[in-house]
Structure 1
Amino acid sequence: MAVPAAYGAGRERRRAEHRSRQVGAHRDDRDGGGAVRANRPVRPPSHVLPERWCPANGRRYVRAVFPGAAGVRRPRRRLGPRTRTEGPPVTRLALLAAALVAVSTPLVATAPEAHAAPTVPVIFVHGQEGSAQQFQSTAQRLSGNGYPDRLLHAYEYDTGTLLNERAVLGLAVFVDRVRAATGSPTVDIIAHSRGTIVAHSYLSDRRHAAEVRRYVNVDGRSSLLPPGGVPTLALWSGLQPDGAIGGATNVHLPDLGHTETTTSAESFAHVYRFLTGTAPQTTQVVPQPSGVTVSGRATYFGANSGVPGRLAVWEVEESSGTRVGSAPVHTTTTYDGAFGPLAVDPRKRYELEYQRTGEPTSHFYFESFERTNQFVRLQISAPGGPADDVDRCPTHTAITVVRNREWWSDQGAGSDGLALNGVEVLTANVAPRSRQVLAAFLFDDGCDRRSALGAPAADFASLPFLTGVDVYLPPTGSVAVREGIRGTTQSRTVTVPAWRSDQHSVTVEFKDYADIR
């Protein structure tokens, strides 16, 4: 659809700039360490890069790339007789034998001794365009199983850069800070997607590896050996059926999405047993009856740098999203985006309003905060970011809906659903499983007061993790945002005021897990 110049000028330029940041550094993993080889744009899972020759077994490989993850070497059928010789045959056979032993025989114990109470801090490392937000439910499950919140930490870095060296250096500093703050000589690391590249590089230094007790590699990089020799658990989604780390405990979860492999209850059960040596008492996020607090940061999406501003926390009516009372429950001015801990009632709903000088007001709406959450993220699109492709005018409301479990709209009766005031917007083409969509931008494309459902908005049709829908929402009254949760019979609704899109941005975040029933 053509966009009037008043609303669409520069969109192609912004789109190109945004795509240029969708990158992950890809590393040679033949020795479990490796140096940065090259940086390639992130592409859909079906994209295949040129074949490479492995001298260890004379087979050709392809490097498959999915959004946010390292290039993962996957074997394919032999394409013909070997035509190259590198080194004497005995050397190649020895390498092959060593690789097979590494893959088939664990070199380290897969679970530690059981202990009464956790004492080792856990550090989460996110993937491409990720943040601590992807670990909210995992942290809440850990705390529900006895982990003190003071032991749970998230390392964040700028995913818009092409190289990982700065992220690796930052992780080293962060680990030292956590060790000093907790008094623990070692930490456990859980890394996801591109974060596994950062973690592998960090652990390739023996001094760093000595400071890590356990490592969890979630749907990211493969290698022949556990990075740094650290006991490793590797979880793999359906995107990586051949993913493996030799000598590690490898668990394949083919029915889970790329990010869902981090946030699911099924994954948590494996992670908890690996870290503690015992099964969790529960894999659910158990509601906390009292003493609930929220902490977090306002950040630029992808860059994870803090955004200064003024935060106001409002109690809102669940049925309409309108504010209760004339004054917010909490207010704070922050110069680095950080806030909290702020006390909230787990039985109520809240709006987090964030104001910046000279910028539209940002409104964030959530389901009830049923358990303390220290990884709340108020993500704001920086200039040149994806929100630049959202047309804003006084005649409509624009809403971004986020969930850290992929939206799958092409699974027939088993699909996710997302409706605005009863109108379904997730048709099969909008969020197919292959695109691993985590956020949907819903707005009046072209400001023409008409909806065009059935296909993603053009500017969002090929972006990783994101989709967009041309849907007209008049800026009056309220909008009921309803999700249907695949794999369950549950649905949930967050109702928000219909703010004008030229002066306000609206984000709705759904939990990434189903309710306990």
Structure 2
Amino acid sequence: MDRNTRVLTAARGLRTPAVGIALTLLAGCFSGSGSSSRSGELSQGIFVDSVVAGLSFSTASQQGMTDAAGTFEYRPGESVSFAVGGIRLGSAAGQELITPVELVPDADPADAAVVNIARLLQSLDADGNLVNGIQISAEIDQAVAEYVQQHRLEELDFGDDEVFEQVMAGLVASLNQAGVFDENAAARQRSPRGRLQAWQHLQDSLAQLDGAELNHQRLPVLFIHGGAGSASQFESQAQRFRANGYPLEHVAVYEYNTATGQDPFDPEQAAARNAKINAIIDQLLLSTGAQKINLVGHSMGTRVSLVYLSEEENAAKVGRYVSVDGTEVDHLPGNVPTLALWGQYVDRSVVGAENVYPPAEAPVGHIEVATSADSFERMYRFFNGEAPETSIIPQAEGEQVWIAGKAHIFPENIGAEGMTLEIYESDPNTGLRLSDVPLYRHQIDADGAWGPVRINRDATHEYALLHPEPGNDQYFYREGYGQDSFLVRLNTSLPGTGVGQYLHRSAAHTNIIIGRDKELWGDQGDNNDRLTVNDVEVVTELTAPLLQRLSSLFLHDRDSDQRSNLAAPDPLFHRLPFMSGLDLFLPASPQASETIEVRLQPRGGGADQVINVPNWPSDGVRSISVQFKDYAPTAAQD
């Protein structure tokens, strides 16, 4: 299949059947070379972010509006300019396919200007359903033009995020007031598309043009984490859904405060949570055209889900519900078909649900039951009535992958506002930076979001979260990413708060927090995990008994006495849920010129997982966070 045929085939997949017919009629314009080889003969192309109808275009010889198939006209050698409501989007050389990427010189899909053009177009879609394409109605175009004239926005700088945010807020509010969106008739308000939302939709469109098979008919999936949890517990599952053809925006998470004093059943707190859950679900339903979503709740998240589903109008939005090792109930939640997945030594049930228990001789951890490949297979089959094609997280085909996420104050799960994230590629053998210049730098705002960032596949990186107050930086190290991931979480705390305040600090030693979204076991004999730090065993029957449910291990030089005491776990950290600690002296060097090896031999087999980090002094870098994947690398994933 040549490029022109592939473009048309993929573009048909971005549209409804009716528009597919229109593209078929257009195919004659792309036969052979894709545009006429005779100078001056009229050619046609398609504008895609989904195909966009109602977009103004002009060339030296042509002008008009893109039709229902996103078609524009040009003559060979001409540049094509695009605009909406008088806002100039940019220009590109005439060709059979133009996307927002081509409108920004020398840009990639994550460039601020590219993403903001996509955000504008997606926000202006008449019905909000991006699966059936973007239709900018004449009414919307006119309303935008009036707003542009009033505020003189013809030369909007799409590369200026701050200005763009202000313009979008005012523009969309004005359009809602004018009632030009379909949902306005039902007294609902359109919200501007978020940066990651818009980028993911554009990325899906580009992926389909490159031949990816995505199933937009699958119901979106929403995950609600448990206590002391975050979206991190769904990171690998989101990658598995993607590997089985789910569009990026079809997987979403709801994150909330799980600090002391939070009660899922408190009416006031529940009302606030339900409003936020509904906002996420309503946006998913609008942008995907789905009638319902599928819901997954884990641990405390099952109580949040139960309260949500107890209201009939909420339950009506949920097609199927998966309860993961959570609350026992004597009825079917919201009368929604339910699958209940249980972890180790549980004798609870959800009445009316399909209850699945692990065998007694093969216990499954409380966190593991949320993140495992086996649970994914069960969820997928329950949602779709068939087995997934794969439960393996495959390697990306290209040499680079995309990552994005949030830097959060934890466990409140709010943005680490005012901090700065710098990402450096690091030497996998030493953990040292390969360059003094970060490949990405971003100041964190109130929502905590960062990225997307394109990084080398399987390369190791340092994620330096810098605090305005000196001495409170936190550095994160993770295994390399072999596949795109958009739920990366860098969880931190404010100075003097959270469990991190109990780490003792000095210029002489390094503090390390080791985590995995799958319990670390130290009292299960042949089924133990083996975790060493500079060859010192740190997962033992003392620090990691089965029922400790250990997922975060804190290592520091208690009392800063430059001596280790491994006879017992640190009493403060060990009494906290999912945590433990050890008094382990790890010598630091002033310039972090030496290496600390953190090596995991995961239970169940598989290759060793190794993360090497510099020995940062803890009086400057208060802690180093090391995060292992919750699945063991296999030959199929290499």
TM value normalised by structure 1:
0.76
Contact 2:215 2:247 in 1 (8 A): no
Q: Are 2:435 and 1:318 aligned?
A: no
* Counterpart for residue 412 of structure 2: 303
| Distance in 1 separating the partners of 2:377 and 2:458 | 27
Contact 1:121 1:152 in 2 (8 A): yes
- Note the C-alpha offset of 1:265: 0.9
CA offset digits 1:395-442 (Å, max 9, x no partner): 100000110000111112321111111111112111111110100001
Corresponding residue for residue 276 of structure 1: 384
Aligned-partner SS, 1:388: helix
Residue 253 (str. 1) matches residue 358 (str. 2):
yes
Q: Quote how far apart the aligned CAs of 1:380 are.
A: 0.3
C-alpha contact (below 8 Å) 1:239/1:257 kept by paired residues: no
Q: Aligned partners of 2:567 and 2:397: how far apart in 1?
A: 42
For residue 224 of structure 1, report the CA deviation from its aligned partner: 2.2
User: Which has the larger Rg?
Assistant: 2
Deviation larger for 433-442 or 449-458: 449-458
Cα displacement (A) at 1:172 = 2.4
CA offsets 1:186-225 (integer angstroms, 9 cap, x no match)? 1111110000001011011110111111111000012222
Query: SS of the residue aligned with 2:313?
Result: helix
State whether residues 418 and 424 of structure 1, in contact with CA within 8 Å, keep that contact through their aligned partners in structure 2: yes
CA-to-aligned-CA distance 1:79-101 (integer Å, 9 cap, x gap): xxxxxxxxxxxxxxxxxxxxxxx
Residue type of the partner of 2:510?
T
Q: Which amino acid aligns with 1:423?
A: V
Q: Which runs of 5+ in 1 are unaligned?
A: 1-114
Q: 1:380 aligns with which of 492, 517, 529?
A: 492
Equivalent position SS for 1:430: coil
Q: CA deviation at 1:116?
A: 6.1
Q: What residue in structure 2 maps to residue 139 of structure 1?
A: 238
Deviation, 1:303, is 0.5
Aligned pairs for 1:7-406 within 5 A: 118-160=217-259, 161-164=261-264, 165=270, 166-240=272-346, 242-254=347-359, 255-290=363-398, 292-308=401-417, 309-336=419-446, 337-359=448-470, 360-382=472-494, 383-406=496-519
| 1:162 Cα deviation after fit | 2.6
Which residue does 1:20 correspond to in 2?
none
SS of the aligned residue for 1:437 comes to: coil
Q: In 2, are the aligned partners of 1:253 and 1:261 still within 8 Å (CA)?
A: no
Q: Is the 8 A contact 1:214 1:232 kept in 2?
A: yes
Equivalent residues of 2:215, 2:246 under 8 A apart: no
Whose strand fraction is larger, Structure 1's or Structure 2's?
A: 1
Amino acid at match of 1:206: E
Q: Is the 8 A contact 1:300 1:379 kept in 2?
A: yes
SS in 2 for 1:292: strand
- Equivalent residue, structure 2, for 1:515: 633
Deviation of 1:170 after TM superposition, in Å, equals: 2.4
Between 1 and 2, higher relative CO (CA 8 Å, sep ≥ 6) is seen in 1
Q: 1:423 to 1:200 in 2, by over 3 A?
A: same
Q: Per the alignment, in what secondary structure is the counterpart of residue 504 of structure 2?
A: coil
Q: Is the 8 A contact 1:172 1:202 kept in 2?
A: no
Call closer, same or farther: CA 1:296–1:116 in 2, change over 3 Å.
closer
Find the aligned partners of 1:136 and 1:322 in 2 and give their Cα distance.
26
Match of 1:503 in 2: 620
Mean Cα deviation higher: 179-188 or 215-224? 179-188
Which amino acid in the other structure matches residue 294 of structure 1? I
- Contact 2:217-2:290 within 8 A present in 1 as well: no
Q: Which runs of 5 or more residues in structure 2 are unaligned?
A: 1-213, 265-269
1:488 alignment counterpart: 605
Shift in Å, 1:117:
5.5
The percent of aligned pairs where both chains have the same amino acid is 37
* CA distance, structure 1, for counterparts of residue 226 and residue 539 of structure 2: 25
Alpha-carbon separation, structure 2, partners of 1:455 and 1:273: 44
More helix by share: 2
User: What's the secondary structure of 2:237's corresponding residue?
Assistant: helix
Q: Secondary structure at the match of 1:237?
A: coil
- The amino acid across from 1:351 in the alignment is E
Match of 1:473 in 2: 586
Paired residue for 1:418? 531
- Conservation of the 8 A alpha-carbon contact between 1:307 and 1:335: yes
One-letter amino acid of the structure 1 residue matched with residue 483 of structure 2: R
AA partner of residue 179 (structure 1):
L
In structure 2, give the amino acid aligned to 1:192: H
Aligned length: 402
Residue identity matched to 2:334: G
Cα shift at 1:342: 0.7
SS across alignment from 2:262? coil
Question: Which residue identity is paired with 1:384?
Answer: T
Q: Stretches of 4+ moved more than 4 A in 1?
A: 115-118
CA drift of 1:384 comes to 2.9
User: Which of 409-418 and 398-407 deviates more?
Assistant: 409-418
Q: Structure 1 residues 176 and 239 mapped into 2: Cα distance closer, same or farther (>3 Å)?
A: farther
| Matches of 2:251 and 2:526, distance apart in 1 | 38
Q: CA RMSD in A?
A: 1.5
Q: 1:491 to 1:231 in 2, by over 3 A?
A: same
Q: SS of the counterpart of 1:261?
A: helix
**Partner of 1:262: helix, strand, or coil?**
helix
Equivalent pair of 2:216/2:288 in contact (CA under 8 Å): no
* 1:169 Cα deviation from its structure 2 partner: 3.4
Aligned partners of 2:567 and 2:388: how far apart in 1? 42
